[in-house]
Amino acid sequence: MNRTRFAPAPTGFLHLGHVANAIVVWGLAAQEGADVLFRIEDHDRIRSRPEYDAALREDLAWLGFASDEGPVRQADDPAPYEAAIERLRSDGRVYGCTCSRATFDAWERERGQPWAGPGCPGGCRELDLDGPTLRVALGAGSERWMDLLVGPCADDVAPAGDPPIRDRDANWTYLLCVVVDDLRQGVDLVVRGRDLLSSTPAQIRLARLLGREMPPAFAHHRLVRDPEGRKLSKSSGDTGVRELRAAGQSADQVIASAAAAIGYEGDPNIGRRPIERPAIGETHTR
Ligand SMILES: [Zn+2]
C-alpha cells in the first residue's frame, strides 16, 4: 500500500477519538510502508472554521504526528467534485430531490418501517427536478470487502435510499468528497472508526461508478466512547486535546489514554516523531 490519510473536519477541536484514529493511521502506515496525507475535510462551508483548522494542525504537531504530504483542503478547488457530478450526470445517475428528513420520517410513520432500498420516498428520479438536494443512483445490490481490522464484510449499497452527493445548502457531501479525493489523491488505504463501516459499500460503489477499478483497502478501528457508551462527537471537558493539555497532561499521556480507550494492541508511538527530552543531568530552566 502506498498512501493513507488523516482527514479531520475543521468543525471542532481534536478529541481523543481523533487521537485514536491518528495512532492507527500512522501505525498502519508504518507497518505497510505507506505515506500519510493530511487532508482537511472542509466540504461543509457552513460548519468549517479557520480557527478549528489552525487548532487541529497545532494539536497534531503537539501530539508528534507529522504527515508526509499536506495539508490539502477540499474547499480550495471545486473542480474535481463538479467533474465527478458531471460524469455521473452524463451516465444518468444524478437527480434532483425535494425530499427532506421530514419526508423520510413521514414515510416511516405511515408505513411503520423506514424507506429502504434505492431511490427516495418522493420518487424524485422520475420527476426531473433541479434540487435542492442531488442524489446519486447507486443501483441495487451489495458490495463486499476484506476489512484489515474487522474481517470479511458485505452490505447493501443503498439500504436507506440513494445517498445525497450535494446537500440542501449546496455543499458537496462527505460521501462525494471522500470518494473523489481518495481516487484523485491515490489513497489506497482508508483507516477510520467503525461508525463509518456502514457507509463503505456506498463508497466502494460510487468509486467504481467514477472509474476506480480497485477499491482502497479499509481498516475500521474501534471507537472511543464516552461514559454513557456513546461515540465522541465533539470535544468536551475531559476528552478534548486542548483541555487535556491545559490540565497538564503530556502528549505521551494523551496518546496512552487514546490507545487504551480503543484497546490498541500495537505500539501507539510507532508513527510519532521522537520527542526531544533533555539528557540526564541537563537542567531545564526558563
Ligand atoms: Zn426525493
Tell how far the Cα of 87 is from the centroid of ligand 1, in angstroms: 21
Output the CA–CA distances (angstroms, integers) from residue 115 to 38, 112, 219, in the order listed.
36, 10, 29
Q: What is the pLDDT of residue 285?
A: 46
- The model carries a pTM of 0.91
Instruction: Kindly give, in sequence order, each residue whose CB lies less than 8 Å from that of residue 64, ignoring residues fewer than 6 positions away.
Output: 251, 255, 269, 272, 273, 275
pLDDT band with cut points at 50, 70 and 90 for residue 96:
very high
Tell how far the Cα of 137 is from the centroid of ligand 1, in angstroms: 12
pLDDT tens for each residue of 164-195: 999 999 899 999 999 999 999 999 999 999 99
Tell how far the Cα of 183 is from the centroid of ligand 1, in angstroms: 28
Tell how far the Cα of 132 is from the centroid of ligand 1, in angstroms: 10
* Helical (H) or strand (E) element with 255: helix 251-261
Tell how far the Cα of 116 is from the centroid of ligand 1, in angstroms: 13
